[in-house]
Structure 1
């Protein structure tokens, strides 16, 4: 056989083999991790051929859905307690949990110069609405409450709350001007170590409990090679570089 034709045939067979073994993975992803996950998914699919079907939302809501039989195969939570509960309750694979990112909380406004670098705007009361994610479902909302309590500002600020179902909706409240400022994830307004727009206070980590964001394999993804491949990929250099570029710390 002509060497060129032989090479072409071999390449075609290899390509067919990759397609034949490509799979689809259904994952539930904390809303704050939307942008980095989209980049990671694109890189992962390009490298492996596996397709990722992702849903983005509040960790607490995903927990309820998983308990009710939602067919997710991986959960990328906004905390470390939800994956641990799912393992304890028999809904996730023991020993599959790990921290994929450590979140950072910011007070942000879409207006340049509105939020000062020390967050003193909270004490002036010079705003009508402040957005916060539902603290019962979203860990970033719980972290925001912890900050306000620690600063002794909860009673003064709470009447001005606009509560988002998740951190994505909370960001939208501020982005659209329905709230002058809000507590969101740094990753929503940072790329490549730069603030994309607006103004913010990067809240000191000591003011709220660490936001350890953990991943876990759910029962539906047990023993599925594509699922294992994605979990390994999240720990690799490509994914870690993307995660860090959005402002997350790495464990």
Structure 2
């Protein structure tokens, strides 16, 4: 019986092209898809599809589309998506430099600034990150000033979020399919709403993810006003996003 079932499935697939099989699976799993075809109506030239969770993120942030295509290519080694910043291993630092108004070539200065933040307040961050080993790991990442660093020297989140927001005194919004967080300055009093800078590239007043848990635990008392200023926008975000997106910085495996 099992052999007959296998033969049936093989025969079913044989009657459909790879594209037909893909479109069928998208429909079964309730993906939203859009495609463009040639005049013959059979040859697909463009295909876009989105996971239902992605749609929840889109509803929360309708002005921005996040596409996880960095460094990914098709079978012909052509990129799925053209990057807005150079994909040279410094792209995370280039993005921050661009959003801070330095131009993406300011990536080197961003690395140096974050390294200075980490070392100047090393006792503070040793407590926040939990070990000297993590300080050493971040130092190794940031102290790479070459144009094309290896994978072990790329920007990492969420740890870098604390360094960026605290050194630059900005609000940093981190959006990803598996994790969404907001980072606030750990040691400074809130700036006025008019002069406050948000690193998110979104419309003013947009919903924001919950505040990073390590900020909640280790911020200086003078910085509490940052959280108060954003509480309503955090609640708005929670009402829009699905439950399978992590909104905490770390997971305590000892919790029930």
Could you say whether these structures have the same fold, taking a TM-score greater than 0.5 normalized by the shorter chain as the test?
A: no
Structure ranking higher in strand proportion: 1
Q: TM-score, normalised by structure 2?
A: 0.25
Q: TM-score, normalised by structure 1?
A: 0.25
